[in-house]
Structure 1
Amino acid sequence: MASFAPKLAALSVAGISGSYLLAQQQSALAEESVPTPTAASRRNLPIYDSPAPPATLVAAPSPLQDQVGEARRFLQSNYDALHLNARAGAQQWIGWENTAEAHVKAMLPEDEDLTPGALYVGVATLAGSILARNRNILLRAGLPSAFFLASLSHFLPKTFDRVTLMAEALERRYVPGFTGIRAQATGLLSDLMGRAGL
């Protein structure tokens, strides 16, 4: 046991010296890694935690958002097509109005006063419909038209001539076969009126 004691003593001395050296190395490392606080750094130490960085939003489209976007694009494209068609229809309508205005201006002579003559023609046409009120269907259809044409030829003769010329031009253009039949009927009617002395 005597030989064991010096070994134990040597080991304990070695362990103490080793632990002392280890402690010195740790303190030296700690001194190197931690800076010594200066007077300026001691004054500026924060009391509160540092502020969190601002949150960044990441766009993540939902299925509803995609469907709404698709519906909006569909409606917008159809609205644009409808808008173009409406503008084209308006332009076509304006063209028809200009054509009708040109035809009406071509029918109305500048030297004939329309104000009393048109009123007389309207009254005569209404008188024809009143006379044919309780008659058969042929008289109800024909008598106002006959009164209209007769009063137009009497009160507005130049307008009647121009309307007749335009009607004949349309007849030759669209119903050329009817022109000959109408000419024969007009000839027969004038012959009958000539024989009757009218």
Structure 2
Amino acid sequence: MASRRVLRLRTSLLAAAAGGASVLYPMRSAYAEAPPKEAIPDRKPIYSDHASLLPKPKPSDTSPVSEPSSTAPTPTDRLTGQVRRARIFLYDQSFAAEDSINKFMSYILNKETSFTNTIASLAPAPETGEQLLPGAIYVLVATMTGSIIARNRGLFLRTTFPLAVGITAGWILIPFTMRNIADLSWEYEKKVPLISNTHAEIRGFTKEAWRQTRVHARLVGDWADEKAAAGREKMESWVRDGK
């Protein structure tokens, strides 16, 4: 029992001494300081490159200076060039085809616009008061009538007589429309000098014949009026003498 008490007393004393030491001298971490990198001198490596130690040969004056040889194009470069040329060719062809289509569509549109404007220009002006629809029907009926009249005649009359009747009816019934048609026909005829010259000669001959016809008709009318007046006077004198 006495030994146990002594052992406990010794243990308690050791624990008290350790606690006092920890209080008086607390535990701290010690850090070592290294010098900066700039202060460390460069050191030569232990193992140096053997090739760097060999002396470099100096070119002599008599030896020719070697020039770098030009490298030939590789198959990849040649393939790239072929692909580039093929793409440029396809682009040029597609651009030419697109340009041709655009020009063709523009040509069709211009022709359609020109045709529409030409047909619209043949109609009479509103201030003339001319109605195209009934007049055109009357001209067609007159042409068919001329064809019926000349059906038993020769080929020349069967061809020209209905046409002459239709043209005459057109100038009488729809004169402004016929004038527009004549002007348009003359514009197209001027592109062919032979036809335009022949038409001009026929037109001049027709105008001169019509003028001569009107002059002679006026002369015949005046002569008939004179003869009628003279006959009337003679009849009146006979009547007076008879009374």
TM-score (norm 2): 0.41
Higher relative contact order (CA 8 A, sep 6+): 1
Larger Rg: 2
TM-score (norm 1): 0.48
